[in-house]
Amino acid sequence: MIHNPTIDAMLNRRSVRSYTKERPSQEVIETIVRAGMQAPFASQLHSVLLSKKPQGPFGAPLWLTICVDIHKLELFMAARGWKRKTNDLDMLMFGAQDAAYLAENMVIAAESLGLGSCFIGSAPYNADKIAEEFSLPPKVMPLVGLVMGFPAEDLPPRPRYPLSYSFFEGRYPELGPAELAEAMEAMDSGYLAQDYYRRAKAKLLLEDGREDSYTYDDYSWTEHISRKWGQWYETPEELLEQLRKRGFNPCP
């Protein structure tokens, strides 16, 4: 692979779950957000919220929420004499792209300045509480939480799929047993080598009454992720309710 400081910062990035108490300066915070805003966008359908709480999850000194923001778009459309015609589902799709690009730019910017970070995926399911805390207007939907700070741990990057399981040129291939086994081995052996789930005490319980034959000696990423998406959120109603509370109607 080619290496330079930017690529190395991206390849060395990992989720940090232990932070020092040192709070980054306002200049550092604003630099990270400004770098985030320079990401590509459909219509800059994003906003960044910074909590005033003394610390966030994992003791992080910065707790941010990245939002899909249609409110600001509608303000200047109204100033131009326009009313939005595009439906909420399409706007949410484009807004999620804008917010995600911004969030990732912020993570890389923070990494380049010596900070660590960790995304918190539960923000959409707590949208009503976040809206109350920040007095959000309608059409602003929390997409993802992001904590940041100076790392108090120095762990290696987490494993990823082999390139051959993610990068397809010309056509999507038939992924057979050999390709599947290679990808599962890369993920599971990598996490086991780091003793990741044992250290995090992150073994998910089985909710269907099945006997759990796994221990931390063999419980790894593919079993963990299978339990997550094999047991959670069977219906979309919880998320749809949060969207409705934020003024969106994605299923008219």
What are the chain's domains?
Answer: 5-154 (3.40.109.10), 163-231 (no CATH)
Confidence of residue 251 (pLDDT cuts 50, 70, 90): confident
Mean pLDDT score, 10-39: 96
Q: Is the pLDDT of residue 171 over 80?
A: yes
Judged against a pLDDT cut of 90, whether residue 172 lies above it is answered with yes
User: pTM for the complete prediction?
Assistant: 0.92
Percent of the chain that is helix, strand, coil (3-state, to 5): 45, 10, 45
DSSP code per residue over 66-103: EEEE-HHHHHHHHHTT----S-HHHHHHHHHHHHHHHH
Q: What is the pLDDT of residue 73?
A: 97
The mean pLDDT value of the chain amounts to: 96
Rounded Cα distance, 53 and 235, in Å: 33
What confidence tens digit (pLDDT) does each residue in 81-131 have?
999 999 999 999 999 999 999 999 999 999 999 999 999 999 999 999 999
Confidence of residue 252 (pLDDT cuts 50, 70, 90): confident
Q: Residue 184 and residue 206: Cα distance in Å, rounded?
A: 20
pLDDT at residue 46, rounded to an integer: 98
Answer whether 151's CB lies under 8 Å from 19's CB: yes
Q: What residues contact 60, with CB distance under 8 A and at least 6 apart?
A: 16, 19, 118, 147, 148, 149
The backbone torsions φ and ψ at residue 99, rounded to the nearest 5 degrees and listed phi first, read -65, -40
| Average pLDDT over every residue of 34-58 | 95
Please give the Cα distance from 178 to 184 (Å, whole number).
Answer: 10
Q: Locate the DSSP E strands across the chain.
A: 46-50, 62-69, 116-120, 140-149
How many Cα atoms are found within 13 Å in the side-chain-facing hemisphere of 13?
22
- Which of the pair, 246 or 251, is modelled with greater confidence? 246
